[in-house]
Structure 1
Amino acid sequence: MAPFPASLKHKENEGRRLRDRISRWLPRPSSDDTNTIEATSSDTTEVPASSHDDLDVTTLPGLQLDPGAKDTTASSHLRDGLSNDALGNDIWSAAYSEAVQEFNEEIKRLAVTGGKLENLLQSLRESSDKRSDSLFSRGLRRLKQPLENVRLALDLTSPLAGLDPTMAVTTATTAVKIIAIGICGAEEQLQSLIVDMLENVTVIDECDNITQDMAKEGHIHQDWYKSPRPGHLVLHGNMGSGKTVTMCYLIEEMLRLNERRRPRPSICYHYCRADETGQLVYIYSSLILQLLDQHKSLKVEFEKWYNRAERSESSDPTQSAQELGYFFSTHVQSLRRPLYVVIDGFDECDSEHRTELVRFLNGLSRKTEELKVLLSSRGYEETIKSQLDEMVTIFLDPDQERDGIIARHLVQRHSTEIPPAVKESVISYLTEKADGSAIWMRLTVDYIRRRRITKLSKMKTFLETLPLPKDLAKLYGALFAHMTGGYSDTEELVTKALEILAVARRPLSLLELGWAVALSDPETSPGTIEGIAESVDEMQIFNLLQPLLGQVDVEDPKKYQLRLVHQSLRELILQSEPRRWSHVDRDDDKGPELARGQRQRELEAVLLRLSVQYLLSEEFKHTDLFSSEQKTVQVLEELPGIGVFDEEIDSQADRTDESTKPATFDPSDRGFGEFYAYAACFWLDHFNGASSGSLAMLPDIVNLCRAGSRTLSNWVTMYCRPDCTIAAKFTLDTQDLDPLAVVCQFGPRVAMDQLLVDYERYTESMKNNSHLTTVAQLNLLGEAARLGAIFLHPIVGPEIRNIPLLEQVMNSWTQSERDRARWEELFRLILPTFMRERSANDLLCAACRMGCLPVVKLLFEEAARNPAFKEDLLRDNQPPADRQGKIQSHLGPHQSIGEAAAYGHLSVVRYLLEQDGIEAHIRHRDAHGFNVFHRVAARICTPEAFELLIPHFREGVDEVNVYNDTPLDLVVFGGDWSSLRADSAEVLLRLGGANVRGSYKGENGEWDEPLRRAARTGQAKMCRVLVEHGGDDPRRVLRDDGSRGLIDPFVEILSEEKKTQTLDTLYSLADTYKPRE
């Protein structure tokens, strides 16, 4: 079972979170919205294409086309000019290459003409660092809370961190606008905050002006952008070469060009990381959210799709990658406008998700002419090549001039105490050796600063000893050695902190990291919360780790902000212990992937142990997380109608007003310490990440989830509030939770299997009927494999192997339109046991009632091998006492074919009609005298069912039950009065020759005759069928005193329109009626 998303593991509630965001966007029935949608759909004016200068991409600095890519014809086309009408599959390559070329030329010009870029970097830094009350700083403060709350498709820290341009110097000109670009997966309230910020911050305007100047001077126009042909562009580059920033620059250019195009193209952007953001469900959710935000009318379609899919699948469709992909694909094809899908960090996805994502995008491109796909990746080129059609590949190669600008900025900023001549030597060295790796330059500069060398000769000697970019691990190792000074206790402290950050599910606060490190010290853990607090020294840890961390605001130790300086550092930590970094290339005997996976599971197990042991602290067993006052606030916050007018707040109002913020709480105020929020919200993630490494913690996990305990109540309360809001983000009922429920639903499969092995050992911690609620939840979640393990368990299995639970599972197969194979495998696994323990006929009737054809077939396959089983399967008597002496009161009142037909499972009916020995079931009559036609008429009443059955049992059409009703009587008497009933009556009369008067034989009319019943209930269509196909006399139900009306009064609920329609029909039929001879 895959790990759950960081802030929301329960699948139903993950869907609810997505649905809640969508529901806030539903269009209101106002004239403004209608006009907006109409204007968008009708605005189709095309902007005239502009001309372009000639360009040969093979000469671009820092870029190289892949000569082996399929259909790579960029050079020949580009030499003809981008305005050429003959541009084909390479049009993306042409436009992208031109953009990057002009971009690089602008960097060259800035470097030559006096450091304009350096001035901009300095002004950005001064605005944010020195002028604490600047508009820029205020804007960032306004973004603080929503940025912390948003954990969706994009790692927002990456573009924000660009203000210190270690990734690429170009970030300085676009960093803040990238926030607005990259926010594509976030909530709309954050988007509005960014709009306000962009409108008021002058520094951002300066960045934007430079970007616009680049675009104007680079002649980046729209010919390529508006090409009607699909295309795929893949950007390759080494780690730290600036792929993300280059992608963001291109997105910004596309957004700028969008302003001039009609219809306006759509852009959907996703940034993948090596966590849940790289999973298909997350990626598709992000793309859909952006699509809905750009096309308001699709929000209603989303709600319809969600409700329809939820009904058909009996599970949350927002947790199904297949369902989400289907929605996105279907509605993208109906957009009738260009769509650009940009996936950054493609290599961060695991191999399974990469392959499926490329296959999905390629298939969508084949169906959608105006779709273009842009991917960036460090590797896996063959995976992409083998799946994508018409692909153009561009390599982002190092550029020494760009490296020189970054090197100069880093040295000037971080090495102010070094003499100018020494600085120039360092800049020259970094420029020559960087090979495009900005992260190597940053680490090297920090290392130089810590060595405090001021003499030129010593600096040159020192520089020659530094590892080169290809030996980045050795540079990290040198930094680690310098940070720890060779002291074993310091090495252990830094190692623990780095390993915790490498597997943490979100950025930690300074205090959280301090507490986590303290908990990992055997001398302080386990212990009291007060004792642990005394041993926490978060500033010591920060000072030691500072060179390996991103930007940190030490003034806010509770802010979730601690990240490793670069993805390469995380990968190195997951590959080897820091003390072995200098020899990491020689350590890997088991292969890089195997070794990395094993070490990551080990580190996940460490953080799992810390979290679980912390949550089991003695203090938490006697104190509620919420005070009585907070519980009162919670009730008020969750009252219906609270916030119902929030969307009516004027858009210009100050959204930072404290009155508009949700009420929050701090667990530490209740004595729960600084690590409680993280431990409660993310221990399940580490539980799944640790896999087999979690087994040692199973007894503690059982204790943590003990039914009815305050420990369970507290962590679930926190778990439902990942942002520390008083009002829950979603709900989990602790009444339904215990160790079995938690481990089976949320834990790794290996832990579930072990818990079932040791089940008797933990029964005291379980709640009554835990196995029943667990099976029901697993069924809703679609966990067929896990259900099989529980059904076959020697202790739990016998208690749940009953027909009602089996019916629930069979219904999941029936309701699932796709991915039925997993359920069919489950049936093959568990049905042999059910066959030994339950009556074959009971199983058959249940399967027919649920419409589960695979189970029906398995039963008949066993009957073909086992005569005794066949005899039991096809018996025609009423269900006897079962083998335990209990009456099977839950069974329906009919036999197999009657159950299948009554519930409308026509495929099952067809299959049964083909089986030998089924005749007794066709003619079966239950205790109330209902035959198969009565059953159909009394329930779903589908004409197709009658058409299938009549040829096999024509004599049953006019049989009466104990209430003296024929099937036609029941068809007409049905309470829904639908057109299906009229069609069914027509089949009974036409094919079956049914008596049109039902069970009545006399000459005088009776109150409950079909025609009189149909007339007074306003069934005009039924009246016509009974007269035209059955030959009944319409005059018998009309007054004969000369007045217009029925002999019976209409039922009260009928409208005057229905009454008039019925009378008109009957009088029309009476005028043309001719008695049958």
Structure 2
Amino acid sequence: MLRNSAEAGNEKPEVITPRPRDAPPSVNDVASGKTGDSNCWESAYQEALHSFGSSDNEHETHAIGNSPDVNELLSILRREREGLSESSWFQKGLEKLRGPLGNVDFLLHLGRAVASLDPTASTAVGILSAVTTIAVGACGAAETVGNNIVEMIKVMPIVDRCDIIHQSDRSEHIRQALVDVYKEVITFYLETHKLLNSKAFTAKATVRQLSGELDKATRGFNGAANRLKDMIYLATKEDTLEIKEGIRTLQGISPSWPTLQSNRPLIMPNVQVDGRINTERFQQIGGYHDRMKRIRNDEACQWIFRDASFGSWLSAPTSQYLTFFGVLGCGKSVTTSCIVDYLEDKAKAEFPHPLILHHYCKIELGSTGSECIYISLLRQMLTKQRRLYLAFQAWYDEELGSGTTEPMLSIPALESFLIKCYEYCGRPLYVVLDGLDECDEDTCRGLISFLDRLRKLSLSREGSPPLKVMFSSRNQVSVRRLLSNSPSVSWFQSLSRDRLIAEHHINMELSHLPPESKSWLIRTLPELSHGSALWIYLVVKNVRASYLNELHSVRKLIDGFPAYSKISETYASLFDRITGKDEDTRNCLSLALETLATAQRPMDVAELSYAVALDASSGDFTTLSALAGNVEPKRVRELIGPFVTSIHIDYSVEGNAAPILEQVALIHQSLTQLVQLARPSNWTDDLKGPQSSADKKKERQAVRKRELHGQLLRSCVGYLLLDEFDKIALLSPQHRSEEAVFDLPFYEAQPDEERFLDPVASGFGPFFTYAACHWLAHAELAAQDSLPSVAELVKLSAVTSKRRENWVEQYCRPDCTRGRKFEMPYRDPLAIAACFGSSALLAEMLDEDLDDWDTFVADDPMLEAERLMLEYGRLATYRSLFQHPKARQSKFFFLATTAYFDHSHRVPSTHLCEDAEEWEKLFGLVYEGADVLVDERLGNGLLCHAAKLGCMPMLRSLFGAASRNASLRAEMLRNGEVEAPRHMSVGEAVRWNQFAAAKFLLQQPGIGTHTRYRNSAGDNVYHLAAESDCGGEMARLLFEHFNEGVDERNGDGQTPLDIAVFFPNRLEFAQALVRIGHVDIRGGRSAEMYRPLRVAVRRCNQAWCSFLVDECGADPSTVLELDADGNSRFVDILDDIPGFEEESRERKQSMLEFICSLAKTKAGKRHRMLAVPGHDKTGMAGDEQP
């Protein structure tokens, strides 16, 4: 019997322990980061479960998760579905349901990932799993499939979409509909329990009976699920209407906005994200994953799924890390791609569906930076959780409003939003990061620190979904140190796995070989490879390139091939075999490999061919037509074949097909590093000579990398200077008039619209897009002697030239979209020279006529150049030009102070110099510029500006220079006339809560005039401190130097205490004033209603009231009076909370009770004092009587 079988199995199902849940967060909560536990499914399940909690149902609800009969049935079905044999009920159920349901993702993946489902019904996820398993098994055991069961399984996946609860205004309706669904699921489960206890059936008979009885029991579920589906549809529809309304608002503001057609569908694609970044790089990362899928043998990757550490990581209920360590070339990236697909497949059979995010950190893809990793993860998250788009837009606008120049390039801003997304989604999150060893150590440290914060957040909140992170890396000491507490999986050599890999590559690449040659290679290569999948791949490519077929020739080739441990010799041998001794061929392939090793992204063959032709020509071509005659794409593609991997990118968007582009990148990091170490045509000779130490190789590689960037920079500039590009236009007038349409948020291209620009069709050739978008990046990394000359820069970037217009428009559209994605930060030749040029180049550029409006665009080109030099951290370059006649010395100091503040407080772009010594040297220029500050009367303003921003290097330099220059000291310490709320130096430091700056200033001789200064509103430094976010430390500091100012009144008659009482968070400051300054607690204003205690009562601030009564001796009875019935009430009308009348009433009543309790306590103390013998009973003031 079922019951006995269950007992024999000793199964102990988990007992349900309902947990309280927090209310789900709102959209505003998401924007502000205030999110709590967001597991809407568990919350709804627990509420549904409690609804069955009456005494009549208590016995039945106890059966959930505790029914031996149900558990035995589930065990039988589970054992069958794990085998998925053709005769199992579960498999038959899948086959029967596939007909009426069609290609339902949930059902298909249920069949492949059933082993991961835990059929215990004590959780929201478990009961759905249990009910679905029973339903499928019931369909398999019955002769016919009930319509209601079909409908039930069909609508079951709608439950996964219920996390829209957190976003929609209909959240309460959706939540209640979800509760109703869970009630019906529980009813289904209980019905199963009743049927199993009604008679003693065999399992098969029971399941057959269930197929009929449960077909009736599912009617209620289907009705509830369809109501839930309607609610979600309405909520989604409202989001779409909100977007449409936003566009109509734009139309109302500007009639030039295009009319929104009511019959045009709107979607929410990655416009906001893609509009801020070069999405081509992230499409290449997606293409790389597809390429890994194409070249892998899935069977050769299965070993990792059988590893105990991987299984523990996967099944752990809490957040976990796992690191996959492997040697160079063992196939880590291929295995990682298989893990990603396995997790994706597994997730589709789980409720709620976990989020699976992945990223490949590859030098050849340019995807190893922190910003690139975070944006890649963010794009995937937004794609899979489209409800996050509105939250993304709110976050982006908020970051811009807070002063972040570009949120998508700010690491702290990206980390902050990713944390909000994780909290908001309420789903398990899997993150798979491949190639951690290819990132620099700072990036690794920052990335793991961020993930640690996410993990701690998950572990600190009960019920939070787990975060599972898997890294893959070479076995490097730096990585092991960072992940020392993380469990790991280590690659091991396996001959059987190597045979699978060899057979896979040989069948793909060498299908033309005779059977005996293929068989010999499949047997031999695994034994020689010693586990190096990369070596097997290169050998196969070498055999293919040799055009050898017969076994004896292939055997001879392999016998002469370098061993697996000498991967550099393998590359060199392959290069020599392809090129032979033909110098032109060797030069062509060398240039191609050098270009790919240096390029900012993978390139298509046409781009690569033009770059090679330009480099080989040494600038001999002046027209595109002449250059085109020397380009050989077929030859280049054939030569690079064994050294590259193909990446296919689909540029299509919904409703608009685009061609799939093939791009190529070097096959492995080891090849990139070898190219960066030596010219490919010299590999064989270099490897024969004595080998340098690791440090020498590193130095040599750094020098050569700059040379290679200079080489590709010359190709880019040479291409952009071709004559045609100063005569034709990239954008037509019609395109410019339509551009606003493509910049619209949420705009969807239509099938008949051409969304992509085609520079080739417009006459600009294949290399124009790369050259225009990336020449500046190469300029930043190139050796100084490789930079364009002044004449070339002026020709390339003169403001009124057609050439500049063309390449700038392309630079702003790196993906060839019609709408701009970037703005050009470098507006003229001087700005480019300031960011990338040497001191000599910049000095030569300054000799040009800066007032030539045909060349320069800024109102003050030199000032703009100085700003850019600061932004890019080119401090040493500027110091060398400080004495140039065109240098704007006085204004520069203000710019430098602001830049230092950005550097110190806002973590600016990676270009900003982080060397503190360099900043000190820069501000030391004040010694040389002192006369300018005096002559232009800017010393005082610069001092106040530095104090406001807390720029200590500037403050030290100013007073150091002033100690040698009396005129500068007098200029700095004069009292200027400023409008409130501005102040002199000490007041500015206090107003912006710059404690270190205030302390430094107060120690300087002669600063007393600034300390005692009052602005146009009569405010002294204490008034400013009371208005600012200063604490007790600032109050004590000021009192040491200016104690007489604590009770001074400003122009409105207010003392600092009068101001502080209006701010709840100024209590610490006020406490310090009272304790060390003995301020007058009555304040400065004569009107009773402005006395501090009266103000604190009107503001409903109990903490302030306690402080004023307990520490300051204020009498609470002075704010109370009796009404006609003898009940206490307040003398004043308390301030209302706008829009919250009910809350105002509750707070007022609470405040009244609190003040009455203070009055009673104080009266009791007074009576006890009067009872003391000798106490003066007449000394009490009249207004202090109880």
Q: CA distance change for structure 1 residues 995 and 577 in 2, over 3 Å: closer, same or farther?
A: closer
> Which whole-Å deviations, capped at 9, do the CAs of 1:474-500 have from their partners, x for residues lacking one?
554454445445333333333323322
Distance in 2 of aligned mates of 1:605 and 1:43: 68
Higher relative contact order (CA 8 A, sep 6+): 1
Q: CA distance change for structure 1 residues 716 and 391 in 2, over 3 Å: closer, same or farther?
A: same
| Contact 2:875-2:919 within 8 A present in 1 as well | no
1:133 matched to which residue of 2?
none
1:715 aligns with 2:807: yes
Q: CA distance change for structure 1 residues 938 and 528 in 2, over 3 Å: closer, same or farther?
A: same
| Superposed displacement of residue 1050, structure 1 | 13
Gaps of 5+ in 2: 1-26, 50-63, 66-70, 80-268, 460-465, 651-657, 1124-1128, 1164-1180
1:244 aligns with 2:333: yes
Q: CA distance change for structure 1 residues 823 and 1060 in 2, over 3 Å: closer, same or farther?
A: farther
Q: Aligned residue pairs: how many?
A: 878
| Contact 1:27-1:300 within 8 A present in 2 as well | no
> Which whole-Å deviations, capped at 9, do the CAs of 1:786-830 have from their partners, x for residues lacking one?
696488464454434456435534643674489999486455223
> Which whole-Å deviations, capped at 9, do the CAs of 1:32-71 have from their partners, x for residues lacking one?
x9956966999999999999xxxxxxxxxxxxxxxxxxxx
1:346 aligns with 2:436: yes
| Superposed displacement of residue 398, structure 1 | 4.1
Q: Which amino acid aligns with 2:945?
A: A
| Contact 2:323-2:470 within 8 A present in 1 as well | yes
Distance in 2 of aligned mates of 1:946 and 1:592: 58
The 5 A counterparts of 1:151-550 are 151-152=281-282, 155-162=285-292, 165=295, 168-170=296-298, 225-226=315-316, 232-239=322-329, 241-255=330-344, 268-275=357-364, 276-287=366-377, 314-316=404-406, 318-321=408-411, 341-350=431-440, 352-354=442-444, 374-379=470-475, 381-390=476-485, 395-449=490-544, 451-453=546-548, 455-484=550-579, 486-522=581-617, 525-550=620-645
Q: CA distance change for structure 1 residues 392 and 797 in 2, over 3 Å: closer, same or farther?
A: same
Distance in 2 of aligned mates of 1:985 and 1:458: 92
> Which whole-Å deviations, capped at 9, do the CAs of 1:327-349 have from their partners, x for residues lacking one?
76899899999765533223322
From 962, 967, 973, give the equivalent of 2:1054: 967
From 883, 895, 899, give the equivalent of 1:805: 895
| Contact 2:433-2:471 within 8 A present in 1 as well | yes
Q: Which amino acid aligns with 2:677?
A: Q
From 862, 868, 883, give the equivalent of 1:771: 862
2:688 matched to which residue of 1?
586
Distance in 1 of aligned mates of 2:687 and 2:613: 32
The 5 A counterparts of 1:897-916 are 897-913=986-1002
| Contact 1:706-1:712 within 8 A present in 2 as well | yes
| Superposed displacement of residue 728, structure 1 | 1.0
2:948 matched to which residue of 1?
849
> Which whole-Å deviations, capped at 9, do the CAs of 1:108-165 have from their partners, x for residues lacking one?
xxxxxxxxxxxxxxxxxxxxxxxxxxxxxxxxxx99xx99955239733444334653
Q: Which amino acid aligns with 1:755?
A: L
1:760 matched to which residue of 2?
846
Q: Which amino acid aligns with 2:705?
A: Q
SS at match of 1:758: helix
Distance in 2 of aligned mates of 1:246 and 1:1066: 68
Distance in 2 of aligned mates of 1:813 and 1:461: 62
Q: Which amino acid aligns with 2:664?
A: L
Q: TM-score, normalised by structure 2?
A: 0.60
Q: CA distance change for structure 1 residues 441 and 800 in 2, over 3 Å: closer, same or farther?
A: same
Q: CA distance change for structure 1 residues 527 and 40 in 2, over 3 Å: closer, same or farther?
A: farther
Q: CA distance change for structure 1 residues 810 and 558 in 2, over 3 Å: closer, same or farther?
A: closer
| Contact 2:980-2:1016 within 8 A present in 1 as well | no
| Contact 2:986-2:1011 within 8 A present in 1 as well | yes
Q: CA distance change for structure 1 residues 937 and 278 in 2, over 3 Å: closer, same or farther?
A: closer
1:658 aligns with 2:751: yes
> Which whole-Å deviations, capped at 9, do the CAs of 1:967-1026 have from their partners, x for residues lacking one?
34x99799x9765799999998996656969587xxxx89xx9579x99x9878899999
Distance in 1 of aligned mates of 2:487 and 2:304: 25
Distance in 2 of aligned mates of 1:513 and 1:815: 42
| Superposed displacement of residue 435, structure 1 | 3.3
Q: CA distance change for structure 1 residues 508 and 793 in 2, over 3 Å: closer, same or farther?
A: farther
1:561 matched to which residue of 2?
663
Distance in 2 of aligned mates of 1:40 and 1:297: 23
Q: TM-score, normalised by structure 1?
A: 0.65
The 5 A counterparts of 1:739-758 are 739-745=829-835, 747=836, 751-758=837-844
User: How high is the sequence identity, in percent, across the aligned residues?
Assistant: 25
| Contact 2:623-2:723 within 8 A present in 1 as well | yes
Q: Which range moves more in the overlay, 935-944 or 316-325? A: 935-944
1:688 aligns with 2:784: no
| Superposed displacement of residue 673, structure 1 | 1.6
Distance in 1 of aligned mates of 2:688 and 2:632: 35
The 5 A counterparts of 1:22-33 are none
| Contact 1:771-1:800 within 8 A present in 2 as well | no
| Superposed displacement of residue 957, structure 1 | 6.1
1:629 matched to which residue of 2?
734
Distance in 1 of aligned mates of 2:907 and 2:534: 49
1:615 matched to which residue of 2?
720
| Contact 2:773-2:814 within 8 A present in 1 as well | yes
Q: Which range moves more in the overlay, 677-686 or 297-306? A: 297-306
From 700, 704, 711, give the equivalent of 1:606: 711
| Superposed displacement of residue 934, structure 1 | 6.0
Q: Which range moves more in the overlay, 286-295 or 677-686? A: 286-295
Q: CA distance change for structure 1 residues 988 and 318 in 2, over 3 Å: closer, same or farther?
A: same
1:878 matched to which residue of 2?
975
SS at match of 2:708: helix
| Contact 1:814-1:851 within 8 A present in 2 as well | no
SS at match of 1:559: strand
Q: CA distance change for structure 1 residues 250 and 442 in 2, over 3 Å: closer, same or farther?
A: closer
| Superposed displacement of residue 834, structure 1 | 2.1
| Superposed displacement of residue 244, structure 1 | 1.7
| Contact 2:1083-2:1091 within 8 A present in 1 as well | yes
| Superposed displacement of residue 626, structure 1 | 0.5
> Which whole-Å deviations, capped at 9, do the CAs of 1:195-253 have from their partners, x for residues lacking one?
xxxxxxxxxxxxxxxx8x997999996686317585653421231x2222223333444
Name the Cα RMSD after superposition.
6.2
1:595 aligns with 2:682: no
> Which whole-Å deviations, capped at 9, do the CAs of 1:141-195 have from their partners, x for residues lacking one?
x99xx99955239733444334653xx5337x99xxxxxxxxxxxxxxxxxxxxx
1:833 aligns with 2:925: yes
Distance in 2 of aligned mates of 1:481 and 1:252: 38
| Contact 1:804-1:890 within 8 A present in 2 as well | no
Q: CA distance change for structure 1 residues 1049 and 612 in 2, over 3 Å: closer, same or farther?
A: same
| Contact 1:824-1:854 within 8 A present in 2 as well | no
| Contact 1:305-1:327 within 8 A present in 2 as well | yes
| Contact 1:892-1:899 within 8 A present in 2 as well | no
Gaps of 5+ in 1: 1-21, 52-141, 175-210, 647-655, 880-887, 1040-1044
The 5 A counterparts of 1:95-110 are none
Distance in 2 of aligned mates of 1:383 and 1:940: 42
| Contact 1:524-1:535 within 8 A present in 2 as well | no
> Which whole-Å deviations, capped at 9, do the CAs of 1:898-920 have from their partners, x for residues lacking one?
33334444554455455565444
Q: Which amino acid aligns with 2:948?
A: R
> Which whole-Å deviations, capped at 9, do the CAs of 1:652-687 have from their partners, x for residues lacking one?
xxxx9625x772211123321221111111112222
| Contact 1:234-1:391 within 8 A present in 2 as well | no
| Superposed displacement of residue 611, structure 1 | 0.5
SS at match of 1:667: coil
